[in-house]
């Protein structure tokens, strides 16, 4: 009967223990628990003994970097406090918009040095209406605001 | 179909952790096992009911005998009469209450058997069954859910009245025993503390008055004049205004030759008027501290409306002290749960000191002329 | 069987080409031969204790259906991404036994491989749905402060059970004494968060392992996956992620219950 199941969780995983019990005749096949059949039909995808070492146990974790991270890093060095990132907002963040513009520009003019590329991308974004640097005071206050204030309605975190 | 089962003791009932599979014929004995366990439960129910029936009959018989002995009518005998009769017939010098003889209905004397409710498949009732204290944790969850709801209540309101706090005056939380009895479960001190913290948080939120009905289920009203009228501080009675439902208490106090009368109402805006003048008329810090002391001690600063009038000579400290004493008495009337804090801080004690009379052959009451040895 | 014999058995089974925990090989065998009747032999059971698929012919045929409840289509990587399931904790808190589930590390933050998560989540949902369809009790456990009430609410809605409070030691192993009588144990326990508020393994995991109750565990990058039967590597802290997982488990329970109602 199931009261004879050993409670020693390190003797083997739960399936191993129940099967061992059935094999030895302590538990009848007809009295097996209901989850047993489900386990047999849909077993776990990873071994679940208590001391199993799952794959990549001793391997270092791969670092995720993309090619455009170079551009991204330089962008954030130039503009530390531009824009809030909202997890809920649809569409690209400011840095992503910059990168998209930069990549489009680099296709058109492939051999420019990075500083020039940056200046050109910023100009392009200004034409669209996205200001990354504080503008000198003009008549209309809207245009003098930094890009961060455009995003000020959305709040930061997840 | 719900079957309320009383569980019989230990060995014969097996833990049933398996059940019939849907495919036919594979495990015929599982359904048999469930049926057998059910049989045990039903037997336990029957035994318990039979036993209670027997004890009940014994009690009735004993009651009739007792009534006969005492010359009373069994039908009109109350439990109080029974207790008095037992104490008369069996006088005892024993101090332990549990050692004294009792004659009472069996459900009051015998330990209550915890009845576990479950359905025909053996599934327990209630989603929180495995927490072992389902009723308690359901209450805790409900308090949390209501707190969340109240939290969304506009917190921008400025005045206390608009903030719509739950009024704590006149009621106290059920203590541990009463709470345990109400929930039907044993509660540890730690659990009770958790519950109190949750409840206090709920009350502290603006808009908690919207949950008045729910909160009052877990509080009991406490009478203001429940203490001994002969001894103790003279706490005034509480008047309730029929229309506004505002509670007011007026207390009188005197210090030396100064006599003060203070009227305090709850649900106030925090006004404090002495003889038609506000607090800033009292220039000295000591006077202001004296006047505000009861409010700080009982944590009601800004929550009451206070009006005070004084008569008599009135010195620099006498007026604040008299007003303070009367104010403390009024607060004790309106908020009986604060009474203990106020007595511990000494605010409800009348200061009996009066100016001592000066004696003959002395310059004053205690001072003596210069004494020369030779 | 001692560990040396066990290891040799695993090697033998592995050498024959049959992979442990693989559904595919045994399914192929099952379709070729007729279904055997009655209980499996001791030999089959010995093989089955390390390779459960060997016992497939002995269980009910409807269990063989790959996607009986139609749950596979509910789980897709885009929705998981939007629900922020791929966010793990920082690389410094990574448990060595969770490296298998990571896509990589992005500026110090562990990122789960959502393809792996998808496969495991589907397996877990199938398991839960099947257990419910057989009239099983599911106990949902979580000690995550922000989401524990949602877990309770969901469990109530599907007619199952929840434990989001302090776990009394011996709740499962000493139930008879704590409750005064024997009661039916849960048939599966689903951990929406396998760590307590002290960032230690939840005591119920060990108790379930002792009582041979299968556990489904949502394991974050800082959780220890040992003793859990079905793992689902995923973010367990964001309310959006937990809401997503609860929605799926609710769907699994409801479909399982509907299947059962139809059969009865």
Quote the CA–CA distance of B167 and C89 in Å, as a whole number: 45
Chain A residue with the nearest C-alpha to that of C108: A63
Contact A94, A130 (CB under 8 A): yes
pLDDT at B139 over 50: yes
Query: Residue C180 and residue B114: Cβ atoms within 8 Å?
Result: yes
DSSP letter at C201 equals: B
DSSP letter at C203 equals: H
B23 to chain C nearest CA, in Å? 6
Contact A44, C231 (CB under 8 A): yes
pLDDT at C209 over 60: yes
Contact B129, C172 (CB under 8 A): no
> Residue A109 domain-assigned?
yes
Buried b (16+ CB within 10 A) or exposed e, C57-79: bbbbeebbeeebbebbebbeeee
B113 to chain C nearest CA, in Å? 10
Residue where the block lists tokens 């974004």:
A125
Best mutation target among C67, C83, C214, C259 (most A Cβ atoms within 10 Å) is C214
Same-domain pairing of A37 and A97:
no
Please tell me if residue B29 touches chain A, with a CB cutoff of 8 Å. yes
Buried b (16+ CB within 10 A) or exposed e, B144-154: bebbeebeebe
Q: What angle do CA C199, C201, C206 make, to 5 degrees?
A: 165
Mean pLDDT of B74-94: 92
Q: Is B358 exposed, middle or buried (0-12, 13-18, 19+ CB in 10 A)?
A: exposed
> Residue A23 domain-assigned?
yes
Quote the CA–CA distance of B95 and A136 in Å, as a whole number: 91
Contact B270, B302 (CB under 8 A): yes
> Residue A63 domain-assigned?
no
Contacts of C213 in chain A (CB under 8 A): 14
DSSP output for C28-86: HHHHHSPPPPSSPPHHHHHHHTT-GGGGGGGS-GGGG-TTTT--GGG--HHHHHHTTTT
Quote the CA–CA distance of C86 and A87 in Å, as a whole number: 14
> Residue A58 domain-assigned?
no
Contacts of A48 in chain C (CB under 8 A): 225-231
Please tell me if residue B28 touches chain A, with a CB cutoff of 8 Å. yes
Which residues, in sequence order, are bridge partners of residue C195?
Answer: C201
The tens digit of pLDDT for each residue in B321-372 reads 999 999 999 999 999 889 989 999 999 999 999 999 999 999 999 999 999 9
What was the pLDDT predicted at A132?
A: 81
Residue B275 three-state SS: coil
Phi, psi of B58 (to 5 degrees): -60, -40
What was the pLDDT predicted at A144?
A: 41
Phi, psi of C156 (to 5 degrees): -65, -40
Chain B residue with the nearest C-alpha to that of C183: B15
pLDDT at B227 over 80: no
Domain limits, CATH 3.40.50.10490, in chain C: 72-263
Quote the CA–CA distance of B344 and A71 in Å, as a whole number: 70
Query: Does C146 or B19 have the greater pLDDT score?
Result: C146
Q: Which pLDDT band, with edges at 50, 70 and 90, does A149 fall under?
A: very low
Query: Does A85 or A143 have the greater pLDDT score?
Result: A85
Quote the CA–CA distance of B286 and B316 in Å, as a whole number: 9
What was the pLDDT predicted at C7?
A: 52
What was the pLDDT predicted at B213?
A: 93
Chain-wide mean pLDDT for chain B? 84
Q: Which pLDDT band, with edges at 50, 70 and 90, does C138 fall under?
A: very high
Phi, psi of C18 (to 5 degrees): -80, 120
Quote the CA–CA distance of C234 and C111 in Å, as a whole number: 9
What was the pLDDT predicted at A131?
A: 81
pLDDT at B6 over 60: no
Same-domain pairing of A20 and A78:
no
Contact B348, B340 (CB under 8 A): no
pLDDT at C149 over 60: yes
> Residue A48 domain-assigned?
no
Mean pLDDT of B45-72: 92
pLDDT at C114 over 80: yes
Contacts of B21 in chain C (CB under 8 A): 60, 134
Query: Does C157 or A79 have the greater pLDDT score?
Result: C157
Mean pLDDT of A117-134: 85
pLDDT at A96 over 70: yes
Query: Residue C212 and residue A62: Cβ atoms within 8 Å?
Result: no
> Residue A115 domain-assigned?
yes
Query: Residue A44 and residue C231: Cβ atoms within 8 Å?
Result: yes
What was the pLDDT predicted at C26?
A: 46
- Give the DSSP H/E element, type plus range, for residue C82: helix C77-82
Short-list C130, B173, B136, CA closest to A41: C130
Top CATH class of B238-344 equals alpha beta
Total domains present in chain A = 2
Which residues, in sequence order, are bridge partners of residue C110?
Answer: C105
The tens digit of pLDDT for each residue in B152-207 reads 765 555 555 567 788 887 788 999 999 998 998 999 999 999 999 999 999 998 88
> Residue A111 domain-assigned?
yes
Structural domain boundaries enclosing A14: 2-41
For chain C, which chains pass the contact test of at least 3 CB pairs under 8 Å?
A, B
Chain-wide mean pLDDT for chain C? 88
Determine if residue B317 is left, alpha or beta; phi over 0 gives left, psi from -120 to 50 gives alpha, anything else beta: alpha
Q: What angle do CA B149, B155, B156 make, to 5 degrees?
A: 155
pLDDT at A130 over 90: no
Quote the CA–CA distance of B350 and B255 in Å, as a whole number: 8
Same-domain pairing of A103 and A144:
yes
Which residues, in sequence order, are bridge partners of residue B274?
Answer: B277, B308
> Residue A51 domain-assigned?
no
What was the pLDDT predicted at B59?
A: 96
DSSP-H helix ranges across C158-227: 175-179, 203-210
Mean pLDDT of B284-298: 95
What was the pLDDT predicted at A156?
A: 41
pLDDT at A137 over 60: no
If one looks up domain C72-263 in CATH, what number appears? Answer: 3.40.50.10490
Cα distances (angstroms) measured from residue A47 to each of B77, B174, C129:
73, 52, 21
Query: Residue C181 and residue B26: Cβ atoms within 8 Å?
Result: no
DSSP letter at B129 equals: G
- Give the DSSP H/E element, type plus range, for residue A8: none
Short-list B237, B272, B369, B262, CA closest to B325: B262
Which residues, in sequence order, are bridge partners of residue C109?
Answer: C90, C106
Same-domain pairing of A77 and A145:
yes
Contact A11, A23 (CB under 8 A): no
Which residues, in sequence order, are bridge partners of residue B309?
Answer: B261
DSSP-H helix ranges across B152-175: 160-163
What was the pLDDT predicted at C19?
A: 44
Q: Where are the domains of chain B?
A: 2-7+31-119, 129-221, 238-344
Which residues, in sequence order, are bridge partners of residue B272?
Answer: B306
Please tell me if residue A40 touches chain B, with a CB cutoff of 8 Å. no
> For a pLDDT cut of 90, what percent of chain B falls above it?
59
C13 to chain A nearest CA, in Å? 15
Q: Which pLDDT band, with edges at 50, 70 and 90, does C4 fall under?
A: low
For chain B, which chains pass the contact test of at least 3 CB pairs under 8 Å?
A, C
Q: How many residues does the structure list for chain C?
A: 264
pLDDT at C234 over 70: yes
Residues 6+ apart with CB under 8 A from B147: B198, B201, B202, B205
Q: Which pLDDT band, with edges at 50, 70 and 90, does B44 fall under?
A: confident
First to last CA, chain A: 50
What was the pLDDT predicted at B97?
A: 85
C154 to chain A nearest CA, in Å? 22
C13 to chain B nearest CA, in Å? 28
């Amino acid at each position: 009967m199931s009261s004879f199941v050993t409670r020693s969780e390190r003797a083997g995983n739960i399936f191993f223990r129940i099967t061992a019990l059935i094999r030895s005749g302590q538990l009848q096949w007809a009295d097996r628990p209901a989850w047993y059949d489900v386990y047999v039909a849909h077993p776990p995808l990873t071994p679940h003994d208590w001391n199993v070492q799952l794959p990549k146990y001793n391997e270092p974790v791969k670092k995720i970097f993309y090619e455009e991270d170079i551009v991204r890093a330089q962008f954030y060095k130039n503009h530390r406090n531009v824009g809030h990132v909202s997890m809920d907002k649809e569409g690209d963040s400011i840095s992503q918009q910059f990168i998209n513009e930069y990549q489009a520009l680099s296709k058109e003019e492939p051999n420019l040095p990075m500083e020039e590329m940056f200046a050109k991308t910023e100009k392009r974004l200004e034409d669209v209406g996205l200001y990354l640097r504080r503008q000198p005071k003009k008549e209309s206050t809207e245009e003098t605001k930094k890009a961060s204030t455009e995003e000020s309605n959305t709040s930061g975190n997840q | 179909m719900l079957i309320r089962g009383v569980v019989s003791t230990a060995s014969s009932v097996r833990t049933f952790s398996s059940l019939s599979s849907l495919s036919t014929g594979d495990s015929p004995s599982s359904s048999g096992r469930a049926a057998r366990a059910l049989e045990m439960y039903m037997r336990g129910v029957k035994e318990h009911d039979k036993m209670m029936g027997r004890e009940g009959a014994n009690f009735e018989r004993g009651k009739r005998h007792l009534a006969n002995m005492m010359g009373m009518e069994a039908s009109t005998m109350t439990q109080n009469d029974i207790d008095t009769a037992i104490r008369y017939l069996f006088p005892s010098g024993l101090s332990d209450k549990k050692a004294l003889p009792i004659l009472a209905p069996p459900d009051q004397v015998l330990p209550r058997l915890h009845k576990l409710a479950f359905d025909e498949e053996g599934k327990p009732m209630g989603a929180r069954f495995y927490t072992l204290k389902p009723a308690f944790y359901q209450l805790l969850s409900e308090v949390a859910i209501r707190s969340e709801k109240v939290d969304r209540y506009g917190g921008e309101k400025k005045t206390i009245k608009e903030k719509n706090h739950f009024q704590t005056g006149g009621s106290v939380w059920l203590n541990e025993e009463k709470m345990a009895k109400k929930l039907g479960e044993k509660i540890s001190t730690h659990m009770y503390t958790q519950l109190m913290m949750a409840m206090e948080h709920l009350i502290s939120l603006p808009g908690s008055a919207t949950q008045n009905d729910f909160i009052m289920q877990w509080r009991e009203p406490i009478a203001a004049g429940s203490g001994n009228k002969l001894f103790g501080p003279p706490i005034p009675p509480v008047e309730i205004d029929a229309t506004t439902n505002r509670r007011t208490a007026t207390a009188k106090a005197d210090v030396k030759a100064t006599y003060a009368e203070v009227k305090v109402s709850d649900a106030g805006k925090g006004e404090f008027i002495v003889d038609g003048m506000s607090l800033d008329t009292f220039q000295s810090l000591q006077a202001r501290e004296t006047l505000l002391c009861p409010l700080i001690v009982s944590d009601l600063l800004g929550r009451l409306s206070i009006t005070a009038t004084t008569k008599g000579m009135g010195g620099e400290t006498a007026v604040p002290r008299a007003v303070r004493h009367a104010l403390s008495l009024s607060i004790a009337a309106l908020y009986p749960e604060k009474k203990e804090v106020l007595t511990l801080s000494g605010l409800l004690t009348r200061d009996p000191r009066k100016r001592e009379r000066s004696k003959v052959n002395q310059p004053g009451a205690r001072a003596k002329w210069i004494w020369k040895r030779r | 069987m001692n560990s040396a014999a066990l290891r040799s058995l695993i090697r033998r089974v592995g050498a024959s080409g049959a992979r442990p925990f693989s559904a595919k090989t045994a399914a192929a065998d099952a379709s070729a031969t007729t279904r055997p009747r009655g209980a499996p032999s001791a030999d089959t059971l010995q093989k089955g204790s390390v390779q459960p698929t060997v016992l497939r012919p002995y269980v009910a045929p409807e269990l063989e259906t790959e996607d009986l409840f139609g749950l596979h289509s509910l789980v897709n990587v885009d929705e998981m991404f939007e629900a922020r399931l791929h966010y793990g904790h920082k690389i410094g808190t990574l448990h060595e036994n969770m490296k298998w589930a990571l896509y990589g590390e992005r500026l110090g933050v562990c990122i789960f491989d959502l393809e792996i998560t998808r496969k495991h989540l589907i397996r877990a949902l199938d398991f839960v749905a099947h257990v419910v369809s057989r009239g099983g009790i599911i106990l949902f456990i979580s000690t995550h402060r922000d989401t524990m009430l949602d877990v309770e609410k969901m469990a109530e809605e599907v007619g199952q059970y929840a434990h989001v409070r302090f776990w009394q030691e011996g709740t499962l192993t000493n139930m008879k004494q704590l409750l005064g009588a024997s009661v039916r144990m849960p048939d599966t326990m689903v951990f929406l968060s396998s760590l307590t508020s002290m960032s230690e393994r939840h005591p119920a995991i060990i108790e379930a392992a002792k009582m041979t109750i299968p556990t489904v565990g949502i394991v974050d990058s800082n959780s220890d996956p040992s003793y859990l039967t079905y793992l689902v590597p995923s973010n367990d802290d964001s309310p959006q992620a937990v809401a997503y997982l609860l929605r799926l488990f609710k769907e699994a329970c409801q479909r399982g219950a509907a299947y059962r109602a139809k059969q009865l």
